[in-house]
Structure 1
Amino acid sequence: MIASLPEACDLVVVGSGWFGLGAARAYIQSHPDQRIAVLESNDSVGGTWSEKRLYPGLKSNNMLGSYEFPDFPMKSEIYGVKELGHIPGAFNSTVGLVESTESGWTLTVSSPSGERQFHTKKLILATGLTSTPNIPSYKGAESYGKPFFHAKDFCRRADEVKEAKNAVVIGGAKSAYDVAYAMIESGATVDLVIKPDGNGHVWIAPRKLTPLEHRLDTILNIRALSWFSPCPWGHEDGFGGVRKFLEKTSFGKMLARGFWNVMGNDVLQRNQYDSHPELQKLKPWYSVFWIGSGLSILNYDTSFFDMIRDGKVRVHIENIDYLAPGKVVLENGDELVADAIICSTGWKKESTITFASLDDTGLGLPIDEKEKANLSLEYDTKPNLPRQPKKALEPLRYYRFMVPSGMLAKRNFAFAGMISSVSTAICASTQGLWITAYFDSRLDRETKTQDEVTREIMMHTQWGKWRYPCGYCASLPDFVFEGIPYVDMLLRDMGIRNKRKGSFIKEIFSPYCPEDYDGVLDEYRVKIGVVGE
């Protein structure tokens, strides 16, 4: 609660999702005598998985063993999740203003009990990517007269729609499928509306893929398969020669194309999109190569696609023209009866926190637009990716995707979780420890000069601008097969071994899971001389 916060802290973490908790845990374990606070705008911890955002039937894409902190495993006997089972999703202090001071940061924090300011030496912002919903604006919305809200509030407002006979769900992401499934389970029929000028619908797959029947949630963390995805930090895994072969030689490029074709065709065939005209509308528009971390898993108790075949879900690839009382009118003139409208329309990526007194540091790169444009052109071809006809946005340009370059020397500020990754659990714990090591000036490896920092940031973020145009595109780093090499880079920065398997064969072909990183925090604690619990 806000009333229990100290007047001053050594560290404040804003946000209590995966990345916020991971960052707080790493710092607390390494600094047991310091004063640390975690601020959360919701009234329970967990971010996306906080109690009041858990709508009926919500499950993670991940199965048992791939969605846990390395040294805090989710035991089947405790949590009731069986092998191959999907993990169920079974404070009120909002930071509004952040001001930089000579000795740290002053935060303006509001809560039900009022507003208060207090000071912290170090600050981690882990507000995440799913905090502020993106709700579309439609003509006639004021006259609609029925429940109209974002999927974020589906749990909180579930009672308002439990008697709905027909619901309109807007969007083509996994959350749209989840909401549609839950509404059908409660007795409604659903009109699923997907705009024709977006990225289309989610690539969604069965739990196991490829002729080897490998779990999708772990196949993405196999080193050998990560080689098929071009990435500027890929060499951090120690297999840069293999990557050059696949990216630079004709035969290697042919192998890479074959790999992605196998991945994509396997999903298309198993989902049988061409077996029904409504299912055909959900056939992905772009190759799986370009999709990003939106790749999802069919984790429902019964077949969602059978619901479509049975007419319980009607699919519309169309824009909404306007809303009328109890109706949604599409641009083609179709009128949809709607007892409720639920928007699975993504998230605003800008922070709700206002920064002040940052004129001397700032959150951007310390270069002018001309120099930035020149560096953008230089790194557009590294790696050499074909271009998709998508709008190229301006990326978030932070060192290691965490620290604004102008703040590097101060060692008192970092973002955690400004990435989207299918390896959330692993990336969250590793980012948290890297930030602790950075704050402690304990990184073994660090880019030194401002020019080197700028160039590295531009290389990494310009890659993101083109790699996943059907994912988060340039707005945020998006990792699929790049997550484990990213963790390699952070661990090597800290001087901690990144290859953690017992043999060469396992290192290449066995998927990395959170349990493989059990002991990383203890290795860092030993390194800095912290002993005991």
Structure 2
Amino acid sequence: MPESYDLVVVGSGWFGLGAARAYIELHPDQNIAILESNETVGGTWSEARLYPGLKSNNMLGSYEFPDFPMSEKIYGVKPLGHIPGAVLNRYLTDFAKHYGIFKRLQFNSTVGVVESTESGWTLTVTSPKGERKIQTTKLILATGLTSTPNIPQYKDADKFGKPFFHAKDFCKRADDLKGVTNVVVVGGAKSAYDVAYAMVESGATVDLIIKPDSTGPVWIAPRKVTPLQHRIDTILNVRALSWFSPCPWGHEDGYGAVRRFLQKTAIGRMLVKGFWNMMGNDVLQRNQYDNHPELQKLKPWYPVLWIGSGLSILNYNTSFFDMVRDGKVRVHVENIERLAPGRVVLENGDALVADAMICSTGWKKESTITFSGLDKTGLGLPTDEMGQAKLSAEYDAKVLKEFPILENQPVLRSKTKKSAEPLRYYRFMVPSAMVAKRNFAFAGMISSVSTAICASTQGLWITAYFDGKLEREAKTEDEIVREIMLHTQWGKWRYPCGYGASLPDFVFEGIPYVDMLLKDIGVQNKRKPSFIKELIEPYCPEDYNGVLQEYRQKQGIVVK
């Protein structure tokens, strides 16, 4: 007989742990398993993905579960300190143990196939002991957005003869990098900077290659921004500032009139543009890109308004930009023509000596998990290709009517690609055809700067949804489809230089998203002690401490 569970959670990163914690606390007597493909918890912060110098973008206090504070006494991180990767792994492990998750974890267990059945789901799981089947009534997939590397294919790659891998394996391949003197790093995102920094720290010289038809160098900010010296990792969670970001669920914060003024009037849009120009110019001036010809190559190509959650923070012990100025990191805005033995040949003819090549080239949104037994709608919407095209055109028009500022899109350097369908899920968690079944949800299929807050809130929402306890939800297929279309079609217009065209991408939208989920659940979303603080004090995880207990009390759930 196959193993059988009431709930299986796949993945033990932030979102998997958040989902498991909420469900376990409210269903302590049910049979629950958490499957993890790695040997440790943490997802991005699992031991296998750590390397010297790796730190979080977030600083202490903004990257922790609401009711499990990362105290300085226990974890040794100082105020305004970025959190080392090893500390985050320890913290997430401690969280899993504290809330009864760890004892339910099965490590080295990779889910390959998910089959829909009359009683729920059958999973095909591979582990060192072989392949086995697992049955479960309910299923949460929390494998996240950074599981499947996107590795470019280069001409004559087989002739390179040197270590060549994705940044995901930077830790695993550490032995291959010992003693190297010249390393090529491909990519313009923060992870590329992290790898380049680590290699220079180890004594190598780095050639950083940024494709000219990409979205360009990352927007990366100092710890504090604006003339008022706000923390960059928390200023994005200030409610009043979220009004300046056009968002279809923004009204969930209760300030729809202010948002309509800012988005629908000429004066309002002028204020919005001024806000974003101020934010962008502040970062550009502080980083002094124009003071050195090599640094100019790292100056972002597009206004910060359009960037999305790829926005990052300078969290290094020493200056990364000094490494560029000193020639230890050499920047090339160029395409790679081919690889040769120990060389990376660029289209301009330059042949870069390379003892190793590391690709920080992002992730595939497509999961490696295969679904079977689904109806013809699958994970998409109940419409054919022509119907989907009609819906997309309809909601393009709706988005631009609601947010006219989005019509003036930036001109991208990247080549026009055939647009793929974005992830279209209800509340960014449940495929439309599965809403009524209440037995399946994705957790963490969003890219957000408010990871910890979103992870805990999504986890509780999924539990309430599974239990049929949401106080507010779309009831008909038409309602579900129309809400999904508005929320997902908005993304491509809002963040064309980020992930918006393919998946949910949140910057200032994170707190309004949490507002929406908490109102669905029936828990107070405005959690500050005064009106003024509600508007201008950043929301941090600690503000949501007690949400799960409030929900439990509201539902009259007594935990033994």
Task: Establish whether residue 224 from structure 1 lines up as the match of residue 240 from structure 2.
Answer: yes
Contact 2:491 2:504 in 1 (8 A): yes
Q: Distance in 1 between matches of 2:267 and 2:52?
A: 49
Contact 1:393 1:465 in 2 (8 A): no
Q: Distance in 2 between matches of 1:133 and 1:396?
A: 18
Moved more, 364-373 or 447-456: 364-373
Partner of 2:424: 397
Contact 1:361 1:407 in 2 (8 A): no
| Amino acid of the structure 1 residue aligned with 2:113 | L
Quote the offset at 1:161 in angstroms.
Answer: 0.6
Quote the offset at 1:359 in angstroms.
Answer: 2.0
Quote the offset at 1:142 in angstroms.
Answer: 0.9
Q: Distance in 1 between matches of 2:170 and 2:338?
A: 23
Task: Establish whether residue 520 from structure 1 lines up as the match of residue 547 from structure 2.
Answer: yes
> Could you list the runs of 4 or more consecutive aligned residues of structure 1 that deviate by over 6 angstroms after TM superposition?
none
Task: Establish whether residue 190 from structure 1 lines up as the match of residue 206 from structure 2.
Answer: yes
Secondary structure of 2:192's aligned partner: helix
Contact 2:276 2:304 in 1 (8 A): yes
Partner of 1:279: 295
Q: Distance in 1 between matches of 2:428 and 2:552?
A: 24
Query: Aligned residues: percent identity?
Result: 79
Task: Establish whether residue 354 from structure 1 lines up as the match of residue 370 from structure 2.
Answer: yes
Q: 1:25-104, aligned counterparts within 5 Å?
A: 25-90=21-86, 91-104=107-120
Quote the offset at 1:465 in angstroms.
Answer: 1.7
Partner of 1:338: 354
Quote the offset at 1:9 in angstroms.
Answer: 0.4
Q: Distance in 1 between matches of 2:29 and 2:379?
A: 30
- 1:200-223 CA distance string (max 9 Å, x none): 010000000001100000000000
Quote the offset at 1:379 in angstroms.
Answer: 1.8
Task: Establish whether residue 461 from structure 1 lines up as the match of residue 488 from structure 2.
Answer: yes
| Amino acid of the structure 1 residue aligned with 2:446 | I
Count how many residue pairs are aligned between Structure 1 and Structure 2. 529
Task: Establish whether residue 169 from structure 1 lines up as the match of residue 185 from structure 2.
Answer: yes
Gaps of 5+ in 1: none
Secondary structure of 1:349's aligned partner: coil
Partner of 2:443: 416
Task: Establish whether residue 447 from structure 1 lines up as the match of residue 474 from structure 2.
Answer: yes
| Amino acid of the structure 1 residue aligned with 2:9 | V
Gaps of 5+ in 2: 87-106
Contact 2:377 2:383 in 1 (8 A): no
Which of 174, 180, 191 is the equivalent residue of 1:158? 174
- 1:179-235 CA distance string (max 9 Å, x none): 000000000010000000010010000000001100000000000100000000000
Task: Establish whether residue 435 from structure 1 lines up as the match of residue 457 from structure 2.
Answer: no
Contact 2:9 2:34 in 1 (8 A): yes
Q: Distance in 2 between matches of 1:364 and 1:53?
A: 32
TM-score (norm 1): 0.98
Quote the offset at 1:356 in angstroms.
Answer: 0.5
Partner of 1:370: 386
Quote the offset at 1:360 in angstroms.
Answer: 5.3
Q: Distance in 1 between matches of 2:390 and 2:343?
A: 50
Contact 2:302 2:410 in 1 (8 A): no
TM-score (norm 2): 0.93
Moved more, 134-143 or 67-76: 134-143
Task: Establish whether residue 293 from structure 1 lines up as the match of residue 289 from structure 2.
Answer: no
Task: Establish whether residue 208 from structure 1 lines up as the match of residue 209 from structure 2.
Answer: no
Q: Distance in 2 between matches of 1:269 and 1:312?
A: 23
- 1:60-82 CA distance string (max 9 Å, x none): 00000000000001001111100
- 1:36-60 CA distance string (max 9 Å, x none): 1000111111000001101110000
| Amino acid of the structure 2 residue aligned with 1:308 | V
Task: Establish whether residue 14 from structure 1 lines up as the match of residue 10 from structure 2.
Answer: yes
Partner of 1:234: 250
| Amino acid of the structure 2 residue aligned with 1:388 | P
Partner of 1:483: 510
Q: Distance in 1 between matches of 2:70 and 2:247?
A: 31
